[in-house]
Amino acid sequence: MKRRVAVVVTVVTVLVASVTTAVAVTVANDDENSFGHRDGMMSSRWQERGDGPPRDWQPGRQGRGWMMHGPMHGSRVASEYAYLAEMVAHHEEAVAAAQQLKRSERAAMREFGKSIVTSQSAQIEQMNRWLADWYPDRSGQVEYQPMMRDLTGLSGDRLDRVFLQDMIWHHMAAVMMSQQLLMRDLAGHQQVQVLATRIRAEQHAEIFQMQRWLGDWFDGRDGGMFGGMHGGPMGPGMGY
């Protein structure tokens, strides 16, 4: 068990390092919205409407395609504005998912969910203030593709396992976005640089914590964070 978790943790480290290297040599377009989204096309704030992800979104529809077309490939942070607008949408999804952990049977998961809601809600509020103050002529909205499965119908071990599997990938995207902003020196304000550094450090640490929980509680039988390679969260089987 411990050996398996140690191997996976090593792979996570290598993966993050590999992406960091790739970012360092990327020649990016300097479009204001660097994620291939058209500014203002769709509000990222579907959580506030309470209607969940877009109706045509299906869990696992993207399969491994997210790896090829999402934050790990092709998506580039081209500006401070793009980083803030996308990170707000990204955080909103994490907060909505973490709120579901109120129903978890594990105290550690309930506390983890509260921590995410508290810290990321505060960061959302801060980033929205910056967007309003520094970019008043921009909408601050992006067409955001949900990365996590719907947790509302899950409970017990299924709730915890699916949350951990999906949130690991979700955190990795935030780490990489922050790394891009910092390595390409795109932050026009020191406050944003400080926030990106904090997001990178905090979520990187949480990735390892979540992977340890997957190993401790589920013995890696669902493939852990790499479950998609075997029909888990990123693959066609989805492993609900």
Percent of the chain with pLDDT over 70: 60
Mean pLDDT for all residues in the chain: 74
- How does residue 149 score in pLDDT terms, banded at 50, 70 and 90? very high
Q: How big is the chain by its Cα radius of gyration, in Å?
A: 17
Among 76-80, 119-123, 167-171, 187-191, the least confident range: 76-80
Q: Has residue 169 been placed in a domain?
A: yes
In this structure, are residues 234 and 63 in contact, taking their beta carbons and an 8 Å threshold? yes
In this structure, are residues 177 and 86 in contact, taking their beta carbons and an 8 Å threshold? yes
pLDDT at residue 143 in the model: 87
Q: What is the mean pLDDT of residues 48-55?
A: 38
Q: What does the block give as tokens for 19?
A: 């992406």
By residue range, what is the domain housing residue 132? 2-25+33-51+59-230
Q: Has residue 238 been placed in a domain?
A: no
Q: Has residue 236 been placed in a domain?
A: no
- How does residue 220 score in pLDDT terms, banded at 50, 70 and 90? low
Indicate the number of domains in the chain.
1
The answer, as to whether pTM is greater than 0.75, is no
Angle, to 10 degrees, between the axis of helix 107-134 and the axis of helix 80-99? 150
The CATH number given to whatever domain includes residue 196 is: 1.20.1260.10
- How does residue 75 score in pLDDT terms, banded at 50, 70 and 90? low
- How does residue 3 score in pLDDT terms, banded at 50, 70 and 90? low
Residue (of 132, 137, 140, 152) closest to 53 by Cα position: 152
Q: Has residue 167 been placed in a domain?
A: yes
Q: Has residue 239 been placed in a domain?
A: no
Q: Has residue 175 been placed in a domain?
A: yes
